[in-house]
Structure 1
Amino acid sequence: MMAGDVDSYRHNVFDAEDVNDDGVVSAIDALLVINAMHGDESIDKEMFSDVNGDGRRSALDALMVINRVRRDRMGLDDPDPADEPITLLPMLPSEVRSIDGSGNHIEHPDWGSSGQTLLRAAAAQYGDGIASPGGADRPSPREISNAIAGAAQTAARSERGLSAFLSVWGQFVDHDLGLTESVEDGDAFDIAIPMGDPMFDPGGTGEVVMPFKRSMIQEGTGTSAGNPAQHVNEITAYIDGSQVYGSDIETAHALRSFVGGRLTITAEGLLPMDDAGMVIAGDVRASENLSLTAIHTLFVREHNRLADRIADEDPAATDEQIYQRARAIVIGQIQSITYHEYLPALLGVHSVARYAGYDAQVNPGIVTEFSTAAYRFGHSTLNEDIKFLDNEGRPVRDAVPLKDAFFHSVMLEETGIDSILKYAASTRSLEVDVGVVDGLRNFLFGPPGAGGMDLVAMNIQRGRDHGLSDYNTTRVAFGLDPVESFDAITSDVMLQDELSRLYGDVNDIDLWVGLMAEDHLSDSSVGELTAAIIADQFGRSRDGDRFYFENIFSGDELRFISETTLADVIERNTQLDGLQANVFFMQSEVRGRVTVAMASGLTGKAALDAMSSTVDDRITGVAGFTLELLSVGGAVIDTAVTDQRGNYRFRSFPETGSYQVRLSETGDTQDVVISGGGDRIRGVDFEVMTNF
C-alpha cells in the first residue's frame, strides 16, 4: 500500500511549484519538470517534480509552475480563501440521507446505521475465547504506559510540519464515525497500578487500581467460541455530519430551530448549553475539550450561514428544504476536507485509493481494530496546553493546560472560537509515537486519585476488553507479513529494549502499543499497519456510502464543495483571515544568506578567488557558517549551516510568535515574527567582514 510519494515522484508539500526547493518559483522549475518528463533521472533524486501531488509526472505539473510564474510576475494574489464562488449553492439532492444512516444501502438497509455491531478484521483473542478480557499474561497497562509513554518521549514535534488541526479534525471526524460506550453498572475491569507509582500510588500501598468499566456487548453475542462477544457502534459509520446533526431523530430535532432551516445557536454564535454546563450538539462528547467544542461550533455556524444564503436565493423554500440542502452541503464539505486535506496530510498523498464511485459490495461498518486501536493515534499528538492567538499569531490571554481544558466549554463565552482555531492552525502537532503528554497520561478528567485517568493505559485496557488480536496477528489480517523481531517494528533501540522487556515475545504485543511504536512510512506520519487500518476504514466508509458527495453532486455543484477547504470554512465564519491554504500543515520558513564584505585593497589571486563567486562587485556568500534559531526566551530551537552559496533556511518553528536568528560566529542577531502557519520570510541576511 502506498502511503506517500515514491522516490521517483516527489512532491513538495511546503510549496508545490518550487521544484528545486530554492525558495523561488521560476522558469527553471518548469524546465526541471520538463526534463524529468523526458527521462532525466538525476532530477528525481533532489527535485520535487510531482507538482500537483497526483503520483504522476506530466505536462500538468509544468503548467502549474508556468501559471504560478505568470501570476507572480503580474502581481496577482492568490484567491482569498474567504471569497466564496459566485455560482449558486448546490441544489438539494433528489434523495436525502437519513439521520440514523438506515436505508443508505438498498439491499442491506442496516449497513452503516447506528446501533450496528463493530466488524472485526482479525479473530477475537479473548481470555476464554468467548468474552473474558485478553492479555491476562501481559503487564499492567499502567506499567506499560510508565515504561514507554512518559515525558521523555513527548518532546518531538511533527517532523513533517503537521499542525494541531491533526488532532482537532481527527477527533471531530472520529465522533462522526464511532461511539462505543461502557456500561456504568456493568462489569469492572480495573487497571492495576504498580506499587509505588509516583502519581497514583505514592504511598507504595500496592493496592491502588484505576477504575475501568467494560464496553457494552451486542445482544446475542458472547455465547460461545463460535459466537464471541462483539461491541456496538452507537452512531452511524458514515462521514455524514452526525456529530453536527445527530444520529437519531430526537437529537436532530432538538438541535433545530425550525425557522429558516437553521440550527439553534446563541446570539453570540456559540452552542447552547444544558443545565450541567455541557454544550448541546449532535454528539455527546462535544464538550470534551475546548478545541473540539470550537470546531463543532464552527460547523453549526457554517450550516446557518448556508441556510441564510439558501433562503435568500429561494424565498419559497420551506424550513425543511433549506435545512436538508444546507445539511447536504456541510456533509459534503466535511467529506471533502477529510479525504482531500486531512488524510493526505496524515497518511501521505496517495494513501487512500482514488474514488471510483459507489460500490454496493462494500460494507461501511466500523472495524474494531480501527476504532479501538489505530484511530487512537491522535492521543500521542496533543500538546500540553491550548493557547489563544489573535489574527497575527500573538497570544491574547494565558494558555490553558490541557488537563484544565476538559469539559470546560463555558470558557468559550470569554474567549470565543477564533483564537482557538488560530492556535490549531499555528502550532505544530506532536509526533505520532508512543509518547503522550502528562495532561492525558496522568490528569485525564482530573488529578490522580480524584478522577484522573491514564489514557494510554485505558487504550491498552480497552483493546483487551474488546478482545483485540495482538499486533502480529492483526498485521496478517490486513495482508502484511508478520514481524520477527522488535527491531522490525521500530529503529529506536531503547524502545526495542523496553518492548522486549515488557512483552518478551514479539507475537504478544498489545495492538495499540505496536501501532504507536512503528517507524513511519516515507512521507507519512504513521507506520505500515496503522496506515493500512486507517486507509481501509476510510476507504470503506466512503465507497460504501451511496450519498458520498462525489456520487450525488457533479459539475459546478461538485466543484463548489471540492474547492472548499477548512481554511475557507474558518474564514467565512470567524474574524480570522490570512490562514495558510492548508491548515493541516504549520510550515513557516525563514531564509537568508551570510555574505562576506571584502575589504578594499585585495589584489592578485585573492581578489580573483573572491570575485569568482560574488553576486556583485562587493559581496560573496560563504559556506560553513552556523545560524541558530532562538525562542523569545533565548533557547536554541534549531541550527543551520550555510551551503556553498551562503544560504540557510529554518523550517522548524513550533508555533507563531517572535523569534531571533543568531549568527554564531559573530553573535549578531535579527528579529523575525511568524504570524501565520505558512509564512515565508526571506532576506534575513548577515554580513561579515574579512580581509581574506
Structure 2
Amino acid sequence: MAPSGIAREPSPDRRGPITRNLARAAEVVDRAVGWPTLWRPVGLAVLVGLRSQLRALNLYDSGRDPDERAPHWDSRALRARLPSGTHNDLDAPLMGAASSRFGRNVPPANSSPDAARLLEPNPREISRRLFTRDEFRPVDSLNLLAAAWIQFEVHDWFSHPDDEETPGREIPLPASDDWPEEHRPMRVHRSALAPGADPDAPPSFANRDTHWWDGSQIYGSQQDYADAIRSGDRGQIVLAENGLPPAEADTLLDPNGPVANFWVGLALLHSLFLREHNAICRRLAAAYPFMTDQQLYDTARLVNTALMAKIHTIDWTPAIIAHPTTVSAMRGNWFGLLGERFARRFGRVAASEVLCGIPGSTTNHHGVPYSLTEEFVAVYRMHSLLPDELKIRDIDGNRPQAVHTLDQLLADHVRDRLAENSMPDLFYSFGRAKAGELTLHNYPAALQELARPDGRPIDLATVDILRDRERGVPRYNEFRRLFRLPRVPSFAALTDNAEWAEELEDIYGDIDNLDLMVGLHAERKPPGFGFSDTAFRVFVLMASRRLSSDRFFTTDFRQEIYTEVGMAWVRDNSMRSVLLRHFPTLAPALAGVDNPFAPWPGR
C-alpha cells in the first residue's frame, strides 16, 4: 500500500489490447451519441466498456497510517464478517476495516482543497437560494421507502468523524439571513483528518464505519455494540416490542455519528432486517441443529447482508434508474447477462462476471486496495428525496389519518411514532408516499435547521457543499473532465430551466466555479433516471466494486460458507418476500406492485 497520506497513481493497465481498445471505443461512442440512446444490447456493451475504463483509470489508494499494525488473527474470519471489518481480505487484514481511509476516483493532483475558495460562493447562500424548497416536487416512480432505503445503506457504507479539537469553520451570514440569533455565528465542524496523514500531501480522511457492504448499520462496527444486542439463543438478536434493539444499547453508539440522523424511515428498515436476521437464524437452526449460537449468528449475518445487497442491486437501483438498459445492467451485475432463469437452471457455468454475475466470481480489487471513495460519498447526497411531511395511513381504513412534519419523524420522536402506529401502517404509509425529486429548490426545510445532539442547529445543505470542498472533491466541470465527460459550456446548456440558469450565473458567475452537488441537481437526467448521468459514472464503477472486492460476495459466496439453506435464502428472496414474511397484512397493498420501491396504489 502507499505510505502515509500519499495517494498513488493507478496501477499499470493490465488489460489486454483488445479489451483496452474496446473500452476506449465504448467511451468514444458514449461521447458521440450517449449510451441512453442506444439499442439495449449495444447500450449494455457500452456500459461494460465504460466500467472497464473507470476501473483502469479512476481508482486511487490514499494509503494508511504507517503506525497501524495488523490485527490479531481470529479464525472466525474464515467464515464470518468481523464487526470491525478486518480480515475480509486475508492477505491485507486491515483493508476496508473501520477507520480505514477513503480512496479517490480522481488523481491526487486534483484532490487538494482550494483554500482560497473554500467559502466561495458562500455555501449558506447556495443553500438558501438554490436548494430551499419552494414547493414539494415529487418523483412519480419512487416512494418514501426508497428514500429511507438509501440512507439505510449509506449508514452501512460511510461516516466521516468530525474534528472535535479544532474550532469549526464560521460561515458568513448577512443581516437578512433568518438563521436564529441565539446560534450566530453559524459554525460547522471540520472533517477529522485520518490519523498519520501527511500535512504536505492531499488530505485524506478515515471512515468511522467499515468500507465493506456488511450490514454494519444494524450489526454495529464495534464489538461491544454487537455483543450488547445478542440474545445468546440460536444466534438471534434481542428486539424490544417496537422491533428495535433495547434503547440502552444506543448508549454504546456515538451520539454525534449516524445515530444522530436516525428517523422513522430508518427505524422501519432496521426493524425489518433485524427481524429477518432472526428468521434466518431459526431456519438455519432447524436445518442444522448442531450449529452453535455463534455459528448461527455469523451465518445469518452473511445471508442477511447478501440479501440486502441483492435487494439494493435488483430492486432499489432499478427503481431510481429505471432506464431499460440500466435495469438490465443491474440485474447483470447480480445474475450476469445470461440471466436469473439461466442461473437457477444451470448454476454458474463460467468464471466471467459479465456472463454469470459478480456473486460467486473471483475476488478482484482491480489493482487498487479496496475502499469507498470521497467521490462516492459526494454523489450520494440525496436529502431532497425526503418530503416535508408524511401522512400516516391506516392500512385497514378504520381510523383517522394523521399527518406528521418531517421534524416530527426525526431522532427524538422515533420511539413515539413507533408506539403510536403499527409497523404495517407505517410501511403502508411509506409505500404510498412519493419521494422528492433530486433537483434544485427541493431540499426539505427541516434539514436546513436541524437540531443536533449538542442543541445547536445545522443547515445540512450548507454542510453538504462545504464537505465536498474541504475534502477536495472537484467542482462540477473538473469532475466531468476527470471522468472523461465533455465540459458543459454554460449554465443554459446545463439545465432546461431558464430561471435556474440565471440564478446559477448570478451566484457562480463562471460555469467552472459550479459545485459538484449543485451541478448534479441541475443537470438534465437520462430517461427514467432519478439522478444525473454524471453521478451515474461513479455508480458504474463503485456499485460493482463493492461486490467484486468482497470475499463474501465472490470467492466465498458458496454453500460451504453460507450453507445450502443460506444460499437458497439469498436466491429465493427479494424486498417483497421480506416485507410479506414479517408483515403479511401488506399483501393486498403490494398486489400488482412490480417493485416495492415504486409508489403503492391506494386501497
Provide TM-score, normalisation by structure 1: 0.66
Letter in 2 for 1:381: L
Partner of 1:546: 551
Matched, 1:140 2:116: no
The 5 A counterparts of 1:222-371 are: 222-224=198-200, 227-274=201-248, 284-285=258-259, 288-348=262-322, 349-350=327-328, 352=330, 354-355=333-334, 356=353, 357-362=361-366, 363-371=369-377
Counterpart contact for 1:120–1:367, Cα < 8 Å: yes
CA deviation after TM superposition for structure 1 residue 94, in Å: 7.1
Distance 1:278 1:111 in 2: 25
Cα separation, 2, equivalents of 1:475 and 1:145: 23
| Deviation string, structure 1 residues 71-128 (Cα, Å, up to 9, x no partner) | xxxxxxxxxxxxxxxxxxxxx99722322222222333322211111112225689xx
Q: 1: distance between equivalents of 2:550 and 2:155?
A: 17
What is the rounded CA distance, in whole Å, between the counterparts of 2:507 and 2:219 in structure 1? 44
Q: What is the DSSP-based 3-state SS (H/G/I as helix, E as strand, rest coil) of the residue aligned with 2:143?
A: coil
Identity of matched residues, %: 24
Matched residues in 1 for 2:532 and 2:556: separation?
31
Work out the CA distance in 2 between the residues paired with 1:438 and 1:156: 11
Is the aligned partner of 1:424 residue 2:415? no
The letter of the residue matching 2:248 is D
Q: Which residue of 2 aligns with 1:17?
A: none
**2:152 counterpart SS class:** helix
Q: Does 1:537 align with 2:537?
A: no
2:250 and 2:148 map into 1 onto residues whose CA distance is 24
Alpha-carbon shift at residue 135 of structure 1 (Å)? 2.6
Match for 1:310: what amino acid? L
The answer for the alignment partner of 1:380 in structure 2 is 384
The AA in structure 2 aligned to 1:318 is T
Matched letter for residue 106 of structure 1: L
Distance change >3 Å, CA 562–CA 475, structure 1 → 2: farther
2:595 aligns with one of 559, 582, 602: 582
SS at match of 1:429: strand
Provide Cα deviations, 1:375-419, integer angstroms capped at 9, x if missing partner: 01x201111113322335787542221012221222123324332
Match among 564, 571, 576 for residue 573 of structure 2: 564
Aligned equivalent of 2:168, options 188, 191, 212: 188
1:485 aligns with 2:490: yes
Query: Which residue of the other structure, out of 194, 212, 219, is the alignment partner of 1:218?
Result: 194
Aligned mates of 2:252, 2:410 — CA distance in 1: 11
Structure 2 distance, partners of 1:142, 1:400, is: 27
Cα displacement string for residues 566-622 of structure 1 (whole angstroms, at most 9, x for unaligned residues): 12212212353222341111164xxxxxxxxxxxxxxxxxxxxxxxxxxxxxxxxxx
Is the deviation greater in 570-579 or in 349-358? Answer: 349-358
Q: Structure 1 pair 394/216, CA: closer, same or farther in 2 (3 Å)?
A: farther
Partner of 2:157: 177
Cα distance change of structure 1 residues 488 and 220 upon mapping to structure 2, 3 Å threshold:
farther
Give the alignment partner of residue 149 of structure 1, picking from 107, 125, 131: 131
Distance (whole Å) between structure 1 residues aligned to residue 171 and residue 130 of structure 2: 17
Counterpart residue type for residue 155 of structure 1 = F
Bigger mean CA offset, 347-356 vs 460-469? 347-356
Q: Is the contact between residue 441 and residue 454 of structure 1 (CA under 8 Å) also seen in structure 2?
A: yes
The equivalences for 1:486-505 within 5 A come to: 486-505=491-510
Residue 162 of structure 1 pairs with residue 142 of structure 2: yes
Taking the TM superposition and a 5 Å limit, the aligned residue runs for 1:586-605 are 586=599, 588=601
Q: Distance in 1 between matches of 2:398 and 2:258?
A: 33
Change (3 A) 1:248 1:280: closer
Cα shift at 1:175: 0.6
Q: Larger Rg: 1 or 2?
A: 1
CA distance, structure 1, for counterparts of residue 522 and residue 555 of structure 2: 36
Contact 1:150 1:437 in 2 (8 A): yes
Deviates more, 1:166-175 or 1:510-519: 510-519
Whether the aligned pair in 2 keeps the contact of 1:104 and 1:111 (CA below 8 Å) is yes
Structure 1 unaligned segments of length 5 or more: list them.
11-49, 57-91, 589-673, 676-692
Q: Which residue of 2 aligns with 1:410?
A: 415
Give the equivalent residue in structure 1 for 2:51. none
Q: Distance in 2 between matches of 1:512 and 1:487?
A: 17
Once residues 125 and 165 of structure 1 are traced to their aligned partners in structure 2, the CA distance between those partners, rounded to angstroms, is 40
Residue 331 of structure 1, CA deviation: 0.8
* Partners of 1:100 and 1:113 within 8 A in 2: yes
Match of residue 99 from structure 1: 83
TM-score if structure 2 supplies the norm length?
0.75
What is the alpha-carbon distance in structure 1 between the residues aligned to residue 277 and residue 566 of structure 2? 17
Residue 116 in structure 1 maps to residue 100 in structure 2:
yes
What per-residue deviation string (whole Å, max 9, x for no partner) do you get for residues 288-323 of structure 1?
A: 211111211111111112212222333332111211
1-side partners of 2:565 and 2:166: how far apart? 52
- By how many angstroms is 1:513 displaced? 1.3
> Per the alignment, in what secondary structure is the counterpart of residue 422 of structure 1?
helix
Is residue 402 of structure 2 the alignment partner of residue 398 of structure 1?
yes
CA contact (8 A) 1:4 1:523 kept: no
CA gap of 1:465–1:187, structure 2 versus 1, over 3 A, is: farther
1:429 Cα deviation after fit = 1.0
CA distance in 1 between counterparts of 2:308 and 2:248 reads 26
The CA distance in 1 between the partners of 2:449 and 2:399, in whole Å, is 25
1:458 Cα deviation from its structure 2 partner = 1.2
**Distance (whole Å) between structure 1 residues aligned to residue 202 and residue 278 of structure 2:** 45
Structure 2 residue identity aligned to 1:215: S
Q: Which moved more, 1:478-487 or 1:337-346?
A: 478-487
Q: What secondary structure sits across from 1:295 in the alignment?
A: helix
Alpha-carbon deviation of 1:286?
Answer: 7.4
Equivalences for 1:611-690 in 2 at 5 Å? 674-675=602-603
Structure 2: runs of 5+ lacking an equivalent: 1-26, 47-75, 335-352, 354-360
Q: How far did 1:172 drift?
A: 0.5
Contact 2:253 2:259 in 1 (8 A): no
Higher alpha-carbon deviation: 494-503 or 569-578: 569-578
Structure with the bigger percentage of helix: 2
Partners in 2 of 1:550 and 1:387 — Cα distance?
A: 45
Which residue is 2:516 aligned to?
Answer: 511
Counterpart AA for 1:172: F
Q: Distance in 2 between matches of 1:471 and 1:243?
A: 31
**8 Å contact kept, 1:440–1:455:** no
Q: Quote the Cα distance in structure 2 between the aligned partners of 1:176 and 1:394.
A: 37
Give the conservation status (yes or no) of the 8 Å contact 2:263–2:410. yes
Partner amino acid, structure 2, of 1:142: R
Given that 1:515 and 1:527 are in contact with CA atoms closer than 8 Å, whether structure 2 keeps it comes out as yes
Summarize the Cα distance change of 1:278–1:360 in structure 2 as closer, same or farther, 3 Å threshold.
Answer: closer
